[in-house]
């Protein structure tokens, strides 16, 4: 069952008199489990929708939907699939006691992987999930592989039930599903020869694995330091040498590097980042792979009027994933504009801290970070965190947020769009 949270005015949903609180029960007799069912089953031009109004009355609608007309229905946020693993490096487990409940949620949800590029391990899939991934063509999916040796992967995930990932991925690839993958590098466990094995086996799956990134494990002060440690500079360099070997082979075979080191891996190895062209379409930039080069490219290409922002104080709201990488980008922004920038890397108060992409930040988290800030002249918010109706994941509307803040806000994909005169504003 899924429930309506908001309905856009002048939409088909409004014409049907769907109201917030309405439960959407079935389309063409097929029960609706989540937003994926709703989007795929209600995409037809004609369908029968069964719904239960907030009054308790059940209604069947014969919906005729002219091509391209959106339903205009915003659903309540989905219940997140919980993670079945217990990785030693999980920063959610690393949170101190006594924080609010959402901060302990460990998500592992293939639906968010498809929709938002959140990485999932695919260790909690039921047969029904396998079927709908193929049926709905949820592709590409973003998968945390970590190691292809089943024993090493189960050790890393602390999950003796974790399926053997290569046969699992192959099963999907044979059915047309493709993947972006990542290896979170844990020194002494999945680096060195294990990293070579993982990359070799992923490469052997052919074009079904679109890319693999190697990301150094990130620990907090609360992580299990007795069990896992950060890689040293030399270990990061060794991993990058392996990445370079596979990338050279992939460039020769396939014309793309395929294997990428995360920006943070270069940072910790004390080596320069590859040029922007290396990253192609920057497909893993949300995972901190090529993010710095992507933003630098966008800033350089923009025609920002320098005097418009000189000495202004500008807050940049982003997700936790981008926090450590932002200083490199901000130095370019400062040089271009003469403004003073402050990075506000927020934890996700709706889905919990394992969801680190900026696009899933709820409006309430942004409000909490900016409400008491009277010292900022402008705040830049991630444009991907609102939908077409300017609603955040928690149904807060961008104008409603702006009305509670003392500084103006602008929605921005890459800063450059907001800092040129005609930037998207709220």
Question: Which tokens sit at 300?
Answer: 């350089």
- Which candidate, 273, 257, 159, 271, places its Cα nearest to that of 199? 257
CB of 194 to ligand SF4, least distance (A): 17
* Closer CB to ligand SF4, 286 or 395, in the complex: 286
Give the side-chain half-sphere CA count within 13 A for 419.
Answer: 34
Q: Where do runs of H (alpha helix) occur along 302-397?
A: 306-309, 326-337, 363-370
The minimum distance between CB 175 and ligand SF4, in angstroms, equals 24
Q: Which helix (H) or strand (E) holds 265?
A: helix 263-269
Least distance (Å) from ligand SF4 to the CB of residue 190? 13
CB of 227 to ligand SF4, least distance (A): 13
Strand partners, 30: 27
User: Minimum CB separation from ligand SF4 for residue 17, in Å?
Assistant: 40
Burial class of residue 121 in the structure, from the number of CB atoms within 10 Å of its CB (0-12 exposed, 13-18 middle, 19+ buried) = buried
Q: Which residues contact 214 (CB under 8 A, 6 or more apart)?
A: 182, 183, 185, 195, 239, 240, 242, 243, 259, 260, 261, 262, 265
Q: Which residues bind ligand SF4 (CB under 6 A)?
A: 83, 85-87, 90, 92, 106, 108, 121, 157, 354
Q: Which is nearer to ligand SF4, 80 or 339 (CB)?
A: 80
Give min distance, CB of 232 to ligand SF4, in A: 21
By beta-carbon proximity to ligand SF4, the closer residue of 77 and 274 is 77
Query: At its nearest, how many Å lie between ligand SF4 and the CB of residue 391?
Result: 27
If one counts every other C-beta atom within 10 angstroms of the C-beta of residue 138, the result is 19
Q: How far is the CB of 265 from ligand SF4 (least distance, A)?
A: 18
Instruction: CB nearer to ligand SF4: give 108 or 283.
Output: 108
Pick the closer one to ligand SF4 by CB: 87 or 273.
87
d(CA 240, CA 3): 47
Closer residue to ligand SF4 in complex, CB, 164/400: 164
Q: Give the other-Cβ count within 10 Å of 82's Cβ.
A: 11
Smallest separation (angstroms) from ligand SF4 to the CB of 239: 19
Of 219 and 367, which CB lies nearer to ligand SF4 in the complex structure?
Answer: 219
Q: In the numeric block, which tokens belong to residue 71? A: 């339903």
Q: Which is nearer to ligand SF4, 122 or 269 (CB)?
A: 122
The span from the CA of 240 to the CA of 269, in Å, is: 8
Going 131 to 133 to 134 to 137, the CA torsion angle's sign is positive
Question: CB of 156: closest distance to ligand SF4 in angstroms?
Answer: 8
Which residues lie closer than 8 Å to 389 by C-beta, 6 or more apart?
A: 6, 8, 72, 74, 397
Give the tokens for residue 332. 């370019």
Task: Using the minimum distance from each CB to ligand SF4, give the nearer residue, 20 or 323.
Answer: 323
Closer CB to ligand SF4, residue 287 or residue 296? 287
- Measured from the CB atom, the residue of 108 and 264 that comes closer to ligand SF4 is 108
Contact 89, 186 (CB under 8 A): yes
User: Please, which residues bridge with residue 378 across strands?
Assistant: 314
Q: Strand order of the sheet with strand 340-346?
A: 340-346, 313-319, 378-382, 409-412
Q: How near is the Cβ of 83 to ligand SF4 at its closest, in Å?
A: 3
Q: Exposed (0-12), middle (13-18) or buried (19+): which is 277, by Cβ within 10 Å?
A: exposed
């Amino acid at each position: 069952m899924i429930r309506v949270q908001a309905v856009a005015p002048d939409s088909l949903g409004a014409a049907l008199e769907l109201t917030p609180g309405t439960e959407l029960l079935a389309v063409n007799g097929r029960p609706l489990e989540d937003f994926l069912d709703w989007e795929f089953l209600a995409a037809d031009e004609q369908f029968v929708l069964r719904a239960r109004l907030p009054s308790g009355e059940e209604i069947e609608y014969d919906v005729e939907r002219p091509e391209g007309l959106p339903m205009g229905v915003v659903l309540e946020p989905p219940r997140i699939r919980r993670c079945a693993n217990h990785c030693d490096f999980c920063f959610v487990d690393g949170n101190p006691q006594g924080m609010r409940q959402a901060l302990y949620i460990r998500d592992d949800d293939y639906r968010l992987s498809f929709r938002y590029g959140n990485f999932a391990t695919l260790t909690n899939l039921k047969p029904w999930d396998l079927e709908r991934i193929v049926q709905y063509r949820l592709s590409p999916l973003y998968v945390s592989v970590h190691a292809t040796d089943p024993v090493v992967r189960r050790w890393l995930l602390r999950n003796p039930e974790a399926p053997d990932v290569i046969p699992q991925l192959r099963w999907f690839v044979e059915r047309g599903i493709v993947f972006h993958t990542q290896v979170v590098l844990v020194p002494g466990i999945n680096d060195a020869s294990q990293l070579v094995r993982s990359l070799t086996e992923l490469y052997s799956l052919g074009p079904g694995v679109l890319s693999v990134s190697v990301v150094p494990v990130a620990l907090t002060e609360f992580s299990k330091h007795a069990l896992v440690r950060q890689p040293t500079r030399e270990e990061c360099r060794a991993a990058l040498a392996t990445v370079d070997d596979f990338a050279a082979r992939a460039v020769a075979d396939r014309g793309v590097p395929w294997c990428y080191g995360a920006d943070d891996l270069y940072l910790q190895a004390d080596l320069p980042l590859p040029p922007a062209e290396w990253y192609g379409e920057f497909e893993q930039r949300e995972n901190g792979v090529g993010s710095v080069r992507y933003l630098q490219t966008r800033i350089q290409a923009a025609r920002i009027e320098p005097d418009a922002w000189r000495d202004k104080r500008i807050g940049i709201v982003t997700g936790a994933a981008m926090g450590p990488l932002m200083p490199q980008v901000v130095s370019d922004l400062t040089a271009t504009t003469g403004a003073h920038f402050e990075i506000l890397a927020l934890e996700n108060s709706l889905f919990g801290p394992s969801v680190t992409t900026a696009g899933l930040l709820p409006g309430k988290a942004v409000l909490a970070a900016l409400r008491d800030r009277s010292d900022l002249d402008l705040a830049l918010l991630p444009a991907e965190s609102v939908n077409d109706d300017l609603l955040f994941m928690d149904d807060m509307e961008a104008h409603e947020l702006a009305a509670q803040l003392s500084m103006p806000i602008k929605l921005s994909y890459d800063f450059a769009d907001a800092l040129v005169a005609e930037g998207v504003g709220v």
